[in-house]
C-alpha cells in the first residue's frame, strides 16, 4: 500500500509544478471523458462516479471498511497535468462522508487519469492515509441523462426512524428538476422545509436551498396571499448510492441561530 501512497504524493507534486506552469483551463477538453463511470478493483474496492466538464466529482465508494461512503469534490482543469483531446490527468480534493466507519469521514486526495475509453481513479482517505485505486473504469451512461435521474423520485425515510421523512418530486422536463419536502419535528411541533428548485450536479446528486414558509391558516377562507412568507433557513443535498439508497445531508439554522448539520442514510419507500 505504501507504494501507492508514494505514487499519489508524487502525483500531487507533479500537479503543483504543472499548475504553476500551465495556463488555466475551465473545462475538460475531451468530450468523451465527462460522464458516469463505474469500476471495481481486484481487491474489492468499488467506485461509481460522475465527472462533470468543470472537474466536479460526486460518487460512492464500496469495499472493506467503506460501507455507506459517498464523496464529492473536484479535480479542476485549471490544475490538470494533461487536458487535451486524448486524455485528462488531474488531481484534487474530495470530501468523504456518510461512512458507517466514521474514521473514514474526512477530506481526501483524488487522482483521475482518463481517456474517452477508460478512467483510473485513486483516492487517499482515512486516518492512516491509505490509498485505494481502481483502474480501467468504464462509462455506463451520461452524467446528465434524464433516465438516470427519473427513478430517484418518491418517498424516502431512514431505517428505524419512523415519523419523519423526505418527499422528492421530479419535474417533467429533460432536466428533471428536483422539488423536495423535508417533514420533521421541531421539538414536538411538525415542521416542513421545502427545496423548491434543486440542481443536479450529476446523475447521483442534487442540492439546493431549504426554505420555511408561513401562510393563511387552513381553516380560514378565503386564502390571503399577503400572509405568505418565505424564509431561507439552510441547504439540502442528496447523494444516491442506487435508485433505492441515498445519503441525505441538510443544514438548518435553529431558533438560536445555530446551524445544525444532519447526515442520514436514506432508503426509498416501496409501495
Q: Which three cell numbers stand for residue 49?
A: 462516479
Asked if pLDDT for residue 183 goes beyond 70, the answer is yes
Query: pTM (2 decimals)?
Result: 0.54
Number of domains in the chain: 2
Question: For residues 189 and 60, what is the distance between their CA atoms, to the nearest angstrom?
Answer: 35
State the Cα angle at 203 between 199 and 207, rounded to 5°.
30
Does one domain contain both 174 and 80? no
- Condensed to tens digits (0 to 9), the pLDDT of residues 138-172 reads 887 654 455 567 778 999 999 889 899 999 999 87
Does one domain contain both 85 and 208? no
Does one domain contain both 194 and 216? yes
Alpha-helix runs per DSSP H in the chain = 2-21, 146-150
Does one domain contain both 120 and 13? yes
What φ, ψ does residue 10 adopt, rounded to 5°? Answer: -65, -40
Does one domain contain both 236 and 169? yes
Does one domain contain both 135 and 154? no
Single out the residue in 79, 114, 141 at which a domain terminates.
141
Q: Structural domain of residue 116, as residue ranges?
A: 2-141
Question: For residues 58 and 204, what is the distance between their CA atoms, to the nearest angstrom?
Answer: 7
Does one domain contain both 174 and 207? yes
Question: For residues 214 and 159, what is the distance between their CA atoms, to the nearest angstrom?
Answer: 30
Which is more confident, 200 or 127?
A: 200
- Condensed to tens digits (0 to 9), the pLDDT of residues 49-103 reads 888 888 998 889 999 888 888 898 999 999 999 999 999 999 999 999 888 888 8
Does one domain contain both 160 and 112? no
Single out the residue in 80, 109, 141 at which a domain terminates.
141
Does one domain contain both 131 and 157? no
Single out the residue in 141, 175, 192 at which a domain terminates.
141
- Condensed to tens digits (0 to 9), the pLDDT of residues 8-17 reads 444 444 444 4
- Condensed to tens digits (0 to 9), the pLDDT of residues 94-125 reads 999 888 888 888 899 999 999 988 999 999 98
Q: What CATH number should be reported for the domain holding residue 216? A: 2.40.160
Does one domain contain both 7 and 137? yes
Does one domain contain both 196 and 234? yes
Question: What's residue 64's pLDDT?
Answer: 87
Share of the chain above pLDDT 90, in %: 48
Asked if pLDDT for residue 44 goes beyond 60, the answer is yes
Does one domain contain both 110 and 153? no
Amino acid at each position: 500500500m505504501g507504494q501507492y501512497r508514494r505514487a499519489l504524493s508524487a502525483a500531487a507534486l507533479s500537479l503543483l509544478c504543472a499548475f504553476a506552469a500551465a495556463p488555466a483551463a475551465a473545462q475538460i477538453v475531451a468530450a468523451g471523458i465527462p460522464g458516469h463511470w463505474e469500476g471495481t478493483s481486484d481487491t474489492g474496492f468499488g467506485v461509481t462516479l460522475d465527472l462533470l466538464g468543470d472537474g466536479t466529482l460526486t460518487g460512492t465508494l464500496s469495499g472493506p471498511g467503506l460501507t455507506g461512503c459517498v464523496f464529492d469534490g473536484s479535480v479542476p482543469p485549471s490544475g490538470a497535468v494533461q487536458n487535451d483531446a486524448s486524455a485528462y490527468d488531474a488531481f484534487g480534493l474530495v470530501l468523504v462522508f456518510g461512512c458507517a466507519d466514521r474514521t473514514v469521514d474526512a477530506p481526501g486526495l483524488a487522482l483521475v487519469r482518463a481517456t474517452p475509453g477508460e478512467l483510473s481513479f485513486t483516492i487517499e482517505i482515512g486516518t492512516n492515509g491509505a490509498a485505494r485505486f481502481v483502474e480501467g473504469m468504464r462509462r455506463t451512461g451520461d452524467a446528465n441523462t434524464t433516465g438516470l435521474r427519473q427513478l430517484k423520485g418518491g418517498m424516502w425515510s431512514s431505517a428505524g426512524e419512523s415519523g419523519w421523512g423526505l418527499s422528492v418530486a421530479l419535474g417533467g422536463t429533460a432536466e428533471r428538476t428536483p422539488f423536495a419536502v423535508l417533514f420533521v419535528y421541531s421539538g414536538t411541533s411538525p415542521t416542513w422545509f421545502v427545496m423548491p428548485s434543486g440542481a443536479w450536479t450529476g446523475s447521483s446528486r442534487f442540492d439546493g436551498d431549504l426554505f420555511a414558509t408561513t401562510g393563511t391558516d387552513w381553516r380560514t377562507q378565503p386564502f390571503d396571499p399577503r400572509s405568505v412568507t418565505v424564509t431561507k433557513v439552510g441547504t439540502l443535498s442528496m447523494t444516491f448510492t442506487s435508485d433505492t439508497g441515498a445519503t441525505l445531508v441538510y443544514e438548518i439554522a435553529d431558533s438560536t441561530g445555530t446551524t445544525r448539520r444532519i447526515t442520514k442514510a436514506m432508503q426509498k419507500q416501496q409501495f
